[in-house]
Structure 1
Amino acid sequence: MNDTTHGIRIRPGGLADAPAVLGMLDSAVAWMNARGNTEQWGTTPYSQRPGGVARVERYTTENAPYLAELDGVPVGALVLDSGPSPQMPIAPAEEPERYVRLLVSDRRYAGRGIGAALLAHAAEEARRADVKLLRVDCWAGGGGELVGFYKRNGFVPTGWFLSGAWPGQVLARRVG
């Protein structure tokens, strides 16, 4: 368990957290859509997409999930893996890595440093495993706002890709 200066507690997650993660994903889709962003995650709530529930259940059982909490309420989720999703057109690293498969926060708690705290936790987990590379991929559209978020959190763009018409950016961060 980890406490940050913002009162955010980070704990290991599991299958019981899948409904909370789905709720965060659904609220993120609604928030993006309200801002005019329908390209990143579409317009269908994540929990209603074909395979959406099963994907989150896999994330919470087959990967390393972590939940951020404020006063015991789940407000963010991070899922780490040993590499990118095989479904994504992203080459594996040439060294051991930790890969951020999912990072989401409850938009009702925006501006409290939840995403940054979860990324700091990801770096800490990589260090603990003696892994020097932390990578993530994200949507590169919308003027690059999401790419900018990762850059502000110590990541450097290393390549881009297209998944259909969806523009993606791969970013890396060295941890020591």
Structure 2
Amino acid sequence: MEFSIRPGAAGDADVLLGFFDEAVEWLVARGSAGQWGAEPWSGIPKRVERVREYAADPEFRMAEVGGKPAGALVLGRVMPYAPQVDEPELYVRLLITSRRFAGHRVGSRLLRHSMDEAKRRGIELVRVDCWAGGDGDLPRYYQSQGFTPTEQFTVDGWLGQVLEQRVGG
């Protein structure tokens, strides 16, 4: 099936919110509610607002498989809770894929896009953070995509892991 990445738009907010609801359902089913909770994001006004902010971000990209929304990416500056670095970087602020497109390498293609975008901008470092709890599958996923774990951090009891990858490495 054809894969493409297009600029996202504020009108994609409901689709993006659906990705979060799918993810929460899947995470709860596998015993990983610690990542994003057990309630659908569409029922939590604060999280709905966060999704609308992502959808309005100029760095929001939507992946499509066969013309259907399959995943999303938001790039930008480091998240305020993550450790800072002393060099220019491109930070993956959001990476989410639709469970309906599992097996289509949507996440890895969006991460490749982030590396290509960093190279285009002359930035050598790409970082991402993720939940480090549960069975550790999420940090292992990023490691399988070429990222190296660096610092861990906690925010309100939520354990996070920062990972990095050098452009070209």
Fold match by TM threshold 0.5: yes
Unpaired segments ≥5 residues, structure 1: 1-5
- What residue number does 2:165 align with? 173
How far apart in 2 are the matches of 1:57 and 1:95?
Answer: 30
Find the counterpart in structure 1 of residue 123 from structure 2. 131
TM-score by length of 2: 0.94
Unpaired runs of 5+ residues, structure 2, are none
| Of 107, 119, 124, the match for 1:115 | 107
Percentage of pairs with the same residue: 47
Q: What is residue 26 of structure 1 aligned with on the other side?
A: 21
Residue 3 of structure 1 is matched in structure 2 by none
> Contact 1:82 / 1:96 at 8 angstroms: preserved in 2?
no
* CA positional deviation for 1:62: 3.1
Tell me the distance in 2 between the aligned counterparts of 1:110 and 1:162: 29
Q: Structure 1 residues 59-68 or 164-173, which shifts more?
A: 59-68
Q: What is the TM-score when the length of structure 1 is the normalising length?
A: 0.91
Residue correspondences, number: 168
Structure 2 Cα separation of the partners of residues 124 and 48 of structure 1: 35
In structure 2, the CA distance between the partners of 1:108 and 1:75, relative to structure 1 (3 Å rule), is: same
* SS of equivalent residue, structure 2 residue 42: helix
Contact 2:8 2:62 in 1 (8 A): yes
Distance 1:173 1:165 in 2: 26
CA contact (8 A) 1:63 1:81 kept: no
Q: Aligned pair 1:12/2:7, yes or no?
A: yes
Task: Using the TM superposition, give the Cα deviation of residue 58 of structure 1 relative to its aligned residue in structure 2, in angstroms.
Answer: 1.3
Tell me, in whole angstroms, the C-alpha distance in 2 between the residues paired with 1:138 and 1:42: 14
